[in-house]
Structure 1
Amino acid sequence: MKALTHTDYQFPDQVSVYHGKVRDVYDIAGRTLVMVATDRISAFDVILPEGIPYKGQVLNQIAAKFLDATTDICPNWKQAAPDPMVTIGVRCQSFPVEMIVRGYLCGSAWRAYKSGVREICGVPIPDGMRENQRFEHPIVTPTTKAEIGTHDEDISKAEIIARGLMSPEDYEVVERYALALFERGTRIAAERGLILVDTKYEFGSHDGTIYLIDEIHTPDSSRYFYAEGYEERYAKGEPQRQLSKEFVREWLMEHGFQGKPGQRVPEMTPAIVSGISDRYIELYEHITGEPFVRHEGGDLIARIERNVKDYLQQKA
């Protein structure tokens, strides 16, 4: 299966297109967004040179399921998913902040903690914690939303408000939504034998209403541990079995790449690419409890164009 790494459509009433790290977002008449989840993969804010077959489908379908499963918590942008790799929805004015919710001390937070940091985004972290230890309560550690080629930066609630990135009132709503979504995601993950470790949410506004936008609880935006064996591994100080993009970051770091100037991405062999694809499919099946159906064969680009145009015509 060939990976889809770039799109360049011209849909009816299209006014612009934005090519993000992973998604290509088409603005239709300033009112509707067509979001194509490509098979691109990024790490350390760098788009890697090889696409991952089925990754876009995995991300899009997991996000669609969780968006549908959380509409009682907050409004979200999704209106339809007319193709396995496409979601169409309300065009919102996004807040330039990503809301990171952490239930456990690991990943970049652990690396900072290990170096001596005891406060992340204005949130104090107590002494004596260990890698992969559960926080007493989930914490919110926002970051700025980086452009391609630049890094997200930690930012506190106070800085967000002081810089006018959000009003105090909007921040309170967004933080409340983020924690409630994390609680729901934690419960769903537990039902599937997984632990939702940390995740990011993005929000925007439309006609005075705050919406959840973009993806939710996917392996690109979230980190999961297997619940079975967590306590034993934690007690022994062993790495946790996890389903997330962290394994890609770890592979890159093992080969001397962390996105720093002068570093080169290691060769992504067919075996590496296939292995990453398998891990994405594995997470899909664990988190949804459903077998993954590979939508393959034919021309991916033509199929997406046909399905999107059919939907837009029906809505016109």
Structure 2
Amino acid sequence: MPIQETHFQFPGQTGFYRGKVRDVYSFPDRLVMVASDRISAFDVVLPRPIPYKGQVLNQTAAYFLRATADLVPNWLLDVPDPNVSVGRRCEPFAVEMVVRGYLAGHAWRQYRDGHRTLCGVPLPDGLRENDRLPQPIITPSTKAHEGHDEDISRDEIIRQGIVSESDYVVLEQYALALFQRGSEMAAERGLILVDTKYEFGKLAGQIYLIDEVHTPDSSRYFYADTYDQNQQAGSPQKQLSKEFVREWLIANGFQGKTGQIVPAMTDAWVNQISARYIELFETVTGQPFVPASEADPQLRIEMAIRETIR
């Protein structure tokens, strides 16, 4: 039974926030994040949940948080359930650090439309879709609770006081180090980490990596073995990400713009998305996907959280 949303109330709970995908329960010094099976695209939550998507996101993020903890301190303390992560309650920075190694997705659409500067970063002429960039670039965006995230430059972030320059320098260093590690780990699995986003927070003067890392919702992967051949032929890249969901929406006349209606999602399409998420988990981590018990996922999750916070 897919997890559309949760409505728990715990002893000592100080707040609750429902994001596009996660239900977040606040405690004085901790956050409990429940990864639901909701799926969003173009900053809109689609009408049908995707079976096992939340478990894939939660377990993929935990895998990479543990694998990068030697590079960057992160928020994660425990994973008491396949859909639940518990961690430090940090004050989040109001920007997402988007790192791009290739010209794909949003960056390509901007480039195709004639833009040669993205978030203040100049791009060379003559690039094609999915070409590798001369070096990884950071293209930040503001973090919106509602509506669309917006591109913003490094200079604007500092000028507006969204992040101090000293903190932003650390965010840049951390983001590039994480992207390098993520690229190396992807290469070991026959993949290319194309682009990804990182979120950071601060607690007691320390900057932490928060939220998810290198998941299909935050990252785009290409298959390495067909990359060169497809680029030379001008063919689409075989990829592991939720870009295929965005492409389906675009083909059906939806890009999150005012007045547009989300197309109907058939059972077959929902199951196909689920299968793609599971494929990504197994491919990226090299681990078999073990579905969580479906008997009563709400009760299972609630009991796991209660046991953790008591």
Structure 1 gaps, min length 5: none
What one-letter code is carried by the residue in structure 2 that aligns with 1:72?
A: D
Measure the CA separation in 1 of the matches of 2:65 and 2:286.
16
> SS at the partner of 1:72?
coil
Q: What percent identity do the matched residue pairs reach?
A: 62
What one-letter code is carried by the residue in structure 2 that aligns with 1:290?
A: Q
Q: 1:52 aligns with which of 50, 59, 63?
A: 50
Measure the CA separation in 2 of the matches of 1:229 and 1:182.
21
Aligned to 1:109: 107
Measure the CA separation in 2 of the matches of 1:239 and 1:136.
21
Measure the CA separation in 2 of the matches of 1:245 and 1:165.
29
**Runs (4+) off by over 2 Å:** none
Aligned to 2:192: 195
- Matching of residues 123-272 of structure 1 within 5 Å: 123-148=121-146, 150-272=147-269
> SS at the partner of 1:14?
coil
Aligned to 1:9: 8
Structure 2 gaps, min length 5: none
Shift of 1:311: 1.2
Q: 1:70 aligns with which of 43, 68, 86?
A: 68
Shift of 1:312: 1.2
Measure the CA separation in 1 of the matches of 2:11 and 2:74.
24
What one-letter code is carried by the residue in structure 1 that aligns with 2:92?
A: S
Shift of 1:146: 1.2
> SS at the partner of 2:213?
coil
Shift of 1:296: 2.6
What one-letter code is carried by the residue in structure 1 that aligns with 2:204?
A: D
Measure the CA separation in 2 of the matches of 1:164 and 1:8.
36
Q: Deviations over 1:246-296 (max 9, x none)?
A: 000000001000001111111100000000000000000000001100113
What one-letter code is carried by the residue in structure 2 that aligns with 1:20?
A: G
TM-score, structure 1 length as denominator?
0.97
Q: Deviations over 1:171-212 (max 9, x none)?
A: 000110000000000000000000000000000000000000
Shift of 1:298: 1.2
Aligned to 1:98: 96
Measure the CA separation in 2 of the matches of 1:204 and 1:217.
17
Count of residues in correspondence between the two structures: 310
Shift of 1:12: 1.4
Measure the CA separation in 2 of the matches of 1:101 and 1:11.
37
Aligned to 2:289: 292
TM-score, structure 2 length as denominator?
0.99
Q: 1:33 aligns with which of 31, 34, 44?
A: 31
Measure the CA separation in 1 of the matches of 2:294 and 2:245.
27
